[in-house]
Chain A
Amino acid sequence: MSLLEVTGMMKHFGGVKAVDGVDFTANEGEILAIIGPNGAGKTTVFNILTGFYTPDEGTMSFDGNSLIGLLPNQVTALGISRTFQAVRLFANMTVLENAMVGQHCRTHWGIFGAVLGLPAERKEEKEIETKARDCLRFFGKRLTGPREDELASALSYADRRRLEIARAMATEPKLLLLDEPAAGFTPKEKEEIVELIGRLRDERGYAIIIIEHDMPVVKNVSDRVIALDYGKKIAEGTYNEVASNERVIEAYLGARHKESA
């Protein structure tokens, strides 16, 4: 059975059919790429999956649970975590604190434990810290060591994107949604992110759905690709299959298929 099953997902904003009856599945250990021109409804799909929007119609089941009507934090608790197209970190918290926030839904101590300083609460805080560090370590020196105590706003653009992924990892997801993780990256950084996404799957065992515009990244990272246009799914298959699909070329890549560096 697939980890995530979406059927007939539909979301209209007034007359705009942002998502118009999309079916797809995501399997465990698989990297699925969603491509499509601007305004095709890719980010809306993410927003519906994570509970920011309620779909007008359709079913979504994740790991045996329906996602319909859940709040974003409940979706996260079930094991779906995401990053944002425009990086949205807690800018005035430190790198480590950002990652520690991700652990919130996996932990439970509240005000009384903290005020009384109960040993169990102390232990949990230590564990939160350890797990957050562990997520940061995935990105090597860039987010560890002295960087841990820097404010997120002090990081470079690429490191902010990395920290966003680390924060999502700290929620201990089964499915990771990455919204344009390579946007604004240099070619070298793009190579690196491709490798990193592969490692996320291999070492952490996440299923991953990635929205990406950069075709080489999509090509190198994805097991399967679906293409959206005007809120509808127009193609599905391996990168090569989708990239050679007539409708995709027409809708998304223009009359002649060009691969931009």
Chain B
Amino acid sequence: MSTAEVPVSNVLTSRAVKAGLVGGVVGVYVAAIGLVQRFDGRNAITGLISLGYVLYVAIALGTGFLASRKVRTLDDPGAPTTANIFVTGAIAGAVSGLFMVPFIWVIGQFEVRETFVNVSSALHDILTFEKGTGFAAMAWPLGGLALGALGAGFHPLVPRYRRPLLAGLLVVLFLSLMEPLVRVMLSDINKNVFAQVNLDIDEGWLYESGGMTIIGAVVIFAIAVAFTFRRFQKAEARLVALGGGPAPEEAEQTPLRRKISLGLLIVGLLILPQVVGSFPSEIIGVVGLYVLLGIGLNIVVGFAGMLDLGYVAFYAVGAYSVGILTSPASPLFAPQLSFWVALPIVLVITTIAGILIGAPVLRLRGDYLAIVTLGFGEMIRVIVQSDWASPMLGGAQGLLRVPAPPFFGGELRDPQAIYYLILACVLLVAFVAYRVKSSRIGRAWNAMREDEQVAESMGISIIKTKLLAFGLGAALASFGGMIFAAKIGSLFPNTFLLIVSINVLAIIVLGGMGSIPGVVVGAFVLVGIPEVLREFGEYRLLFYGLLLMVIMILRPEGVLPDVRRKRELHEAELEDEVLLAAAAVGGGALPGGARS
């Protein structure tokens, strides 16, 4: 132990300092770009802490946690002791706090606003807790020390306690961030549901002046912890029962329980817009449109393995087709069909558009395909804006007065009504994708994704299979476009930007390639949350990038991966272990090459 102890503490100290410096840089960065000041305007827990300080608490906790994680090398110089871990976390936290001190001093002494527009005296006040630079110079390192140690404290905790604790913190943070949305939802639920039975439970117990109440935070935290703890216990029991083997997910769900939960889910989905009110329904609607696009793109990228960056083209074709067919204001050709008559026609049009765009790129793969499809995506918008197409499509002035879908005398325009149309389409599109995935065509896509040449020599027509993917992907995307046109009522070329394609791609990467539930999760995270957090709009892309990076590092298969992908990555780990073991024994029987 005496020989091993020195290297362990050496490794840990250097890592603590490094992590502390990184934490410090992040701390200065978020202050310099104005994030702290903006966040400080919002309470996390009213009367206790603002979101700005939550940011720093999170940085310090994270620094301590990351600095003290287990050393994983083949020649592990011995496991760090619990004391080691706490000291490492504390050092890291203190270093990150210390890093802030000169920054605070500089912005207090000098006027740097010329260069750093966000560095104001208000920021200085926040960072010194309005108690002067001297106090800040003490408070930051000491606070960092304490929080860093606390962050490191997550390691010695067994997962059974760590997971629930983490879940509790995250849920509280999430709910305080989502205050604008949840607040409206709660007040609507009070109005729509509780008022019916003469109850008056408004949102006052949970939120107060933009943040959570202390009582609300404690209650939510307790509920989240208890719930996660219970789930974890069950999972553990199941693992033990199976003798440590991996537990199949559905094992504990009896058919009856499944049916009941499915039924509850359907009822929940049906009454959702009535319960939560108009504003949340609007957001759910936008998320739903992206789910439609995501499932469609998943066919092209996730199933068939073709990286399409111009997917917005099909969204646009769907939207404009329905616009031309239904709007009385369509400049050149205005048959003024009903939405429902136009729908099958548009499906045919977009399928053909998908095949037409797919045909020239049949021979391209990977990056080349991505670049060409990117071009196609832009072309559609440029064509709509062009002098040639403007008289037909309205150009930059837009294609206006697209009518809402008529429905039994009324029409589906307000968010709560169009929600049902979106829901129906999502279910339909998900069903189609799910069925096709496990069919003969799905297998062919899968094979083509794995090895195009071999798939071809196994009798799969690459031309036909690729065009099927493009055609179906385009048709599914057109559902999104059609509903978008009917919902908004006017179409402008600048709606169909490259960023839409990128968003949809990010959604399926985040959710998990080839996974249909993953698309739903991805759309909620990447579209729903930013819709709610509009006040932090300018920082949207920053979080976007950060989130994608974190996901790619921690869970490269996505949040809710396709079973196959999960196994693929998992088995790679297993294989590595086997190889390492084989290397350790010194006898890896590798297949010999052919002689001549």
Q: Which residues of A contact B (CB under 8 A)?
A: 37-38, 50-52, 71-73, 75-77, 81-82, 84-85, 88-93, 97, 100-102, 104-107, 109-111, 113-115, 117, 121, 124-125, 128, 151, 153-154, 157, 167-168, 171, 180, 183-184, 213, 260
Give the total of B residues in contact with A, Cβ under 8 Å: 39
Task: Digitize B433-467: 1 where CB-to-A-CB distance is under 8 Å, 0 elsewhere.
Answer: 00110111111101100110111111111100000
Tell me which of B456, B468, B571 has the highest count of chain A C-beta atoms within 10 A of its own C-beta.
Answer: B456
Give the Cβ gap from B339 to chain A, nearest Cβ, in Å: 22
B447 interface neighbour in A75, A93, A110, A157, Cβ under 8 Å? A93
Closest to B439 in A: A114
Q: Which residues on the B side are within 8 Å of A113 (C-beta)?
A: 439
**Interface contact B594-A183, CB-CB below 8 Å:** yes
Q: A76-B457, A104-B459 are in contact. Are A92 and B564 (CB under 8 A)?
A: yes
Q: List 20 A-B contacts (CB under 8 A).
A: A52-B453, A73-B457, A75-B457, A81-B458, A93-B447, A97-B446, A104-B444, A104-B459, A105-B459, A109-B440, A110-B441, A113-B439, A114-B438, A114-B441, A117-B435, A121-B439, A125-B439, A128-B440, A153-B575, A171-B459
Q: For the complex, give the distance between the alpha carbons of A23 and B581 in Å.
A: 51
B245 lies within 8 A of chain A by Cβ: no
Give the Cβ gap from A22 to chain B, nearest Cβ, in Å: 20
Q: For the complex, give the distance between the alpha carbons of A92 and B593 in Å.
A: 24
**A73-B459, A117-B435 given. 20 additional CB < 8 A pairs?**
A38-B594, A38-B596, A73-B456, A73-B457, A81-B459, A91-B450, A92-B564, A92-B565, A93-B450, A102-B458, A104-B459, A105-B458, A105-B459, A114-B438, A114-B441, A128-B440, A151-B571, A154-B575, A180-B594, A213-B596
B586 lies within 8 A of chain A by Cβ: no
Give the Cβ gap from B515 to chain A, nearest Cβ, in Å: 14
B567 lies within 8 A of chain A by Cβ: yes
Q: For the complex, give the distance between the alpha carbons of A93 and B442 in Å.
A: 12
B248 lies within 8 A of chain A by Cβ: no
A167 interface neighbour in B436, B458, B472, B596, Cβ under 8 Å? B458
**Interface contact A260-B595, CB-CB below 8 Å:** yes
Q: Which residues on the A side are within 8 Å of B431 (C-beta)?
A: 115
**Interface contact A101-B457, CB-CB below 8 Å:** no
**Interface contact A157-B435, CB-CB below 8 Å:** no
Closest to B471 in A: A111
**Interface contact A101-B447, CB-CB below 8 Å:** yes
Q: For the complex, give the distance between the alpha carbons of A88 and B447 in Å.
A: 11
Q: A111-B468, A183-B593 are in contact. Are A104 and B564 (CB under 8 A)?
A: no
Q: A183-B594, A260-B595 are in contact. Are A104 and B439 (CB under 8 A)?
A: no
Tell me which of B443, B459, B592 has the highest count of chain A C-beta atoms within 10 A of its own C-beta.
Answer: B459
Q: Which residues on the A side are within 8 Å of B567 (C-beta)?
A: 151
**Interface contact A104-B457, CB-CB below 8 Å:** no
Q: A71-B456, A184-B592 are in contact. Are A92 and B568 (CB under 8 A)?
A: yes
Closest to B428 in A: A115
**Interface contact A50-B472, CB-CB below 8 Å:** no
**Interface contact A104-B458, CB-CB below 8 Å:** yes
Give the Cβ gap from A192 to chain B, nearest Cβ, in Å: 16
B458 interface neighbour in A71, A76, A128, A183, Cβ under 8 Å? A76
Give the Cβ gap from B424 to chain A, nearest Cβ, in Å: 16
Q: Which residues of B contact A (CB under 8 A)?
A: 431-432, 435-436, 438-444, 446-447, 450-451, 453-462, 468, 472, 564-565, 567-568, 571, 575, 591-596
Q: A114-B441, A115-B432, A153-B571 are in contact. Are A102 and B593 (CB under 8 A)?
A: no
Q: Which 10 A-B pairs have the closest CB atoms?
A: A105-B459, A114-B439, A184-B591, A76-B459, A90-B450, A38-B596, A72-B456, A72-B457, A157-B591, A101-B447
**Interface contact B439-A109, CB-CB below 8 Å:** yes
Q: For the complex, give the distance between the alpha carbons of A93 and B438 in Å.
A: 12
Q: For the complex, give the distance between the alpha carbons of A91 and B446 in Å.
A: 10
Q: For the complex, give the distance between the alpha carbons of A154 and B591 in Å.
A: 15
Q: Which residues on the A side are within 8 Å of B440 (C-beta)?
A: 104, 107, 109-110, 114, 124-125, 128
Q: Which residues on the B side are within 8 Å of A72 (C-beta)?
A: 453, 456-457
Q: For the complex, give the distance between the alpha carbons of A51 and B596 in Å.
A: 26
Closest to A102 in B: B458
Closest to A106 in B: B459
Q: For the complex, give the distance between the alpha carbons of A224 and B270 in Å.
A: 72
Give the Cβ gap from B255 to chain A, nearest Cβ, in Å: 20
**Interface contact B446-A90, CB-CB below 8 Å:** yes
Q: Which residues on the B side are within 8 Å of A93 (C-beta)?
A: 443, 446-447, 450, 564
B593 interface neighbour in A124, A151, A167, A184, Cβ under 8 Å? A184
Q: For the complex, give the distance between the alpha carbons of A125 and B451 in Å.
A: 23
**Interface contact B446-A115, CB-CB below 8 Å:** no
Tell me which of B441, B457, B567 has the highest count of chain A C-beta atoms within 10 A of its own C-beta.
Answer: B457
Q: For the complex, give the distance between the alpha carbons of A115 and B565 in Å.
A: 23
Q: For the complex, give the distance between the alpha carbons of A121 and B442 in Å.
A: 14
Give the Cβ gap from A9 to chain B, nearest Cβ, in Å: 18
**Interface contact B443-A151, CB-CB below 8 Å:** no
Q: For the complex, give the distance between the alpha carbons of A161 and B297 in Å.
A: 35
Give the Cβ gap from B517 to chain A, nearest Cβ, in Å: 19
Q: For the complex, give the distance between the alpha carbons of A91 and B438 in Å.
A: 17
Give the Cβ gap from B343 to chain A, nearest Cβ, in Å: 17
Give the Cβ gap from A89 to chain B, nearest Cβ, in Å: 8
Closest to A117 in B: B435
Q: Which residues on the A side are within 8 Å of B438 (C-beta)?
A: 114
Q: Which residues on the B side are within 8 Å of A88 (C-beta)?
A: 451, 453-454
